[in-house]
Structure 1
Amino acid sequence: MEICPLLQEPEEYLPDTIDLRNNPKERDYWLPCLERMVRKFVDKASILNPHKPQAKEEAEHCFRIFQEMIKRLNNNPEIMNPLSIRTLLEFNEKTLRSNNFTDAWLVQKQKETKTAFREFSSRLKYIDNIDTFGVRWLELVKGLLAGNMFDWGAKAVTDLLETTGSFGLGDAMNTIQKRPWFIDDLDEWIETLQKKSYKKVVIFVDNAGVDFVLGVIPLAREFIKRDTDVILSANTFPALNDITIKELNCCLQEASLHCPVIKNAVDSKKLQGIENGQGGPCLDLSKLNSGLCDKMKNVDLVMLEGMGRAVHTNLKAKFNIDSVKLAVLKNEWLAQSLGAQQFSIIFEFKPAPTF
């Protein structure tokens, strides 16, 4: 594992936006919040894992382990260092994996991916019919942000998904914040895209299903059409409904059957999926897969997608190349702590520093 070579100040890098050890107010919110999230999985375990007769009992066992950790942390937050949303979520995922939940959300991910691919060709056709450069890139970014709504780790979203029988990409586009966004550097980024073509981009992706198939792949395809090499980096190990590297590469093969641009890019390695070495829904750029770090040395744009990778972690990270951080704020407490509202959007573009 290596530190990301794209960081502007690697020696100063800290992944976590919020330090729960030294912030009692945040700790008092997030510890019970995450405990409720883990508890909710118990009720869904049997449905998500129909091949496991003892799924609910095993999920209850995992919950008790997490609950005991929360109790200990309430008494003494010093026992976990660092103590953050990232480390607590990683603790939960490790507990699940070590108690027979190899990939707890696999069935749900497969279902959502299959459904998303039914719309894939029509989504590409719709984008290709947009002639205006800026309007097309706006549609691609909106699609990526709307796709990022499909996150089973956010209560506000799970409430929507569970109470609405047919919540799709169009519904998500109508749910997220209208422009101007809470942080809205999109126009500046589009102006940059009009002036130059990036040579190589790395995108740290988030969820399986609609997010990846209808959000990430169309965006990657547009880069490829501009002769940009694209690395899509996904988790090595399962976490919630985040896409894994194995699933990512399967999706690229499926997309290749629908789109010659994707097929040619995959065959020529202009489009590659590379694991990031992570096993949680956040992103620690100081512990990346060494093969990914090697491939990133000539990247000139980095994109971080999703609340876990761009807000809970890396919100303050600075890069020595152009960077884009984009996310939908799907937690009301987090949104308000930043001065925003639930479902507000962050689209932050930072050009490479000039020295």
Structure 2
Amino acid sequence: MDKSENVCPLLKNPGVYNPDTIDLVNDTKERKYWLPCLANMVKKFVGKASFLNPDYPEAAESAEICFQKFHELVVKAVEDPSILEPLSIRTLLEFNEDNLQANNFKDAWYTQKVSESSAALKEFKDRIDFIDSIADFEARWLEIVTGVLAGNVFDWGSTVVADILETSTNFGFTQAMSTIEKRPWFRDNLDNWIDRIKKESYKEAVIFVDNAGVDFILGILPLEAAKNCPIIEKAINTDQLVMVENGQKGPCLDLANLSPVLELCQVMTSADLVVLEGMGRAVHTNLYAKFTVDSVKLAVLKNEWLAKSLGGQQFSVIFNYETAT
């Protein structure tokens, strides 16, 4: 298959596109921070493996094998970044996912996803009813977008969030809403985007979502529909709302290597809006990506090092709206 068929058709200048925001090859300081940081994240899964995979008796042992392979790579990569081509947060997380798959973890966090999605669905109608009760157009869209950001807080891959979720018995969507920094956000051109959709609705949006559970159900679905479940059901039945795999191994996003199986690139050719949500898709990758259509990149910076390297603080908000170029 022609590899060009896997390239996002909405990318501006795909020939010079680089998905990775942080340079781990040439920036020694960044490399020495991120390599052990990611190793610690992989190591934390070892203690959760059995609980998250109750039908896999060897889960803990297999998870330890995955960690040791990742640790060995990290030790070598600290001094020799050419060991992985290219060396980036994206490729390191893909390496880890390959290890998990090779050790019979088809979806290592599946149990957690099911549990969180089930809990979030119970709150869905109340969330939609509240959004619908807001009469003011600008206020309603601010609430919707803040909800997306609150949903993005729920990320077990973030050390600070994982600590909160593990130690708190009542940290839910409402509490996450209160953690979002007050406007103006660190990067904030939400008002410009609201002005745009107030003048004219988009015809077709492509949304690259982050996590299951609260993030998708209470965050993204209201952004896409802002209606009750029957509306969403009708949209799915009439192909107005289509779910397509993006073909990525990990949480980051390489728009030059999308899924060839379900013809994602063909599906999105008629889109006039691209939304990238979450640190993996909108910050670790694609922060500087340009598109031929309007785009929105939004995320909560849950890593303090990353936030400070960009000039912000932990839990700072990025909402980048860029018009078509």
In structure 1, the partner of 2:29 is: 25
Matched, 1:142 2:125: no
Q: Does the 8 Å CA contact 2:100/2:108 hold for their aligned counterparts?
A: yes
Q: Secondary structure at the match of 1:95?
A: helix
Matched, 1:302 2:277: no
In 1, distance between residues paired with 2:82 and 2:149?
A: 36
Matched, 1:38 2:42: yes
After superposition, residues 55-74 of structure 1 pair within 5 angstroms as: 55-74=59-78
In structure 2, the partner of 1:262 is: 232
In structure 1, the partner of 2:304 is: 332
In structure 2, the partner of 1:93 is: 97
Match of 1:193 among 190, 193, 197: 197
In structure 1, the partner of 2:257 is: 287
In 2, distance between residues paired with 1:346 and 1:47?
A: 34
Q: Secondary structure at the match of 2:297?
A: strand
After superposition, the C-alpha distances for 1:262-314 in whole angstroms (9 at most, x for unaligned) are: 11111110110011111110000000124111011111000000000000000
Match of 2:286 among 314, 321, 325: 314
Match of 1:179 among 169, 180, 183: 183
Q: Secondary structure at the match of 2:324?
A: coil
After superposition, residues 170-249 of structure 1 pair within 5 angstroms as: 170-222=174-226
Q: Does the 8 Å CA contact 1:19/1:82 hold for their aligned counterparts?
A: no
What letter matches 1:169 in structure 2? F
After superposition, the C-alpha distances for 1:318-341 in whole angstroms (9 at most, x for unaligned) are: 001100000000000000000000
Deviation at 1:87, TM superposition (A): 0.3
Q: Secondary structure at the match of 1:188?
A: helix
Q: Does the 8 Å CA contact 1:3/1:288 hold for their aligned counterparts?
A: yes
Deviation at 1:50, TM superposition (A): 1.4
Ranges in structure 2 where 5+ consecutive residues have no aligned partner: none
Deviation at 1:168, TM superposition (A): 0.7
After superposition, the C-alpha distances for 1:20-73 in whole angstroms (9 at most, x for unaligned) are: 011100000001101111111111111111112221111111111111111121
Q: Does the 8 Å CA contact 1:198/1:300 hold for their aligned counterparts?
A: yes
In 1, distance between residues paired with 2:314 and 2:168?
A: 19
In structure 2, the partner of 1:278 is: 248
| Segment of structure 1 superposing worse, 72-81 or 213-222 | 72-81
In 2, distance between residues paired with 1:264 and 1:105?
A: 30
In 2, distance between residues paired with 1:169 and 1:111?
A: 15
Q: Give the share of equivalent positions with the same residue, in percent.
A: 60
Q: Which runs of 4+ in 1 moved over 2 A?
A: none
In 2, distance between residues paired with 1:63 and 1:352?
A: 42
Deviation at 1:172, TM superposition (A): 0.4
In structure 1, the partner of 2:125 is: 121
In 2, distance between residues paired with 1:316 and 1:75?
A: 28
In 1, distance between residues paired with 2:50 and 2:214?
A: 23
After superposition, the C-alpha distances for 1:219-267 in whole angstroms (9 at most, x for unaligned) are: 1104xx7xxxxxxxxxxxxxxxxxxxxxxxxxxxxxxxx6221111111
Q: Does the 8 Å CA contact 2:146/2:180 hold for their aligned counterparts?
A: no
Match of 2:162 among 145, 148, 158: 158
Deviation at 1:75, TM superposition (A): 3.0
In structure 2, the partner of 1:4 is: 8
In 1, distance between residues paired with 2:265 and 2:241?
A: 16
In 1, distance between residues paired with 2:235 and 2:49?
A: 38
Ranges in structure 1 where 5+ consecutive residues have no aligned partner: 226-257
What letter matches 1:68 in structure 2? E
In 2, distance between residues paired with 1:99 and 1:30?
A: 24
Deviation at 1:125, TM superposition (A): 0.6
Q: Secondary structure at the match of 1:345?
A: strand
Q: Does the 8 Å CA contact 2:273/2:294 hold for their aligned counterparts?
A: yes
Q: Secondary structure at the match of 1:272?
A: coil
What letter matches 1:320 in structure 2? T
Q: Does the 8 Å CA contact 1:206/1:306 hold for their aligned counterparts?
A: yes
What letter matches 1:162 in structure 2? E
In 2, distance between residues paired with 1:329 and 1:57?
A: 33
After superposition, the C-alpha distances for 1:152-181 in whole angstroms (9 at most, x for unaligned) are: 111011011111112111100111211110
Q: Secondary structure at the match of 1:88?
A: helix
What letter matches 1:167 in structure 2? F
Q: Does the 8 Å CA contact 1:327/1:347 hold for their aligned counterparts?
A: yes
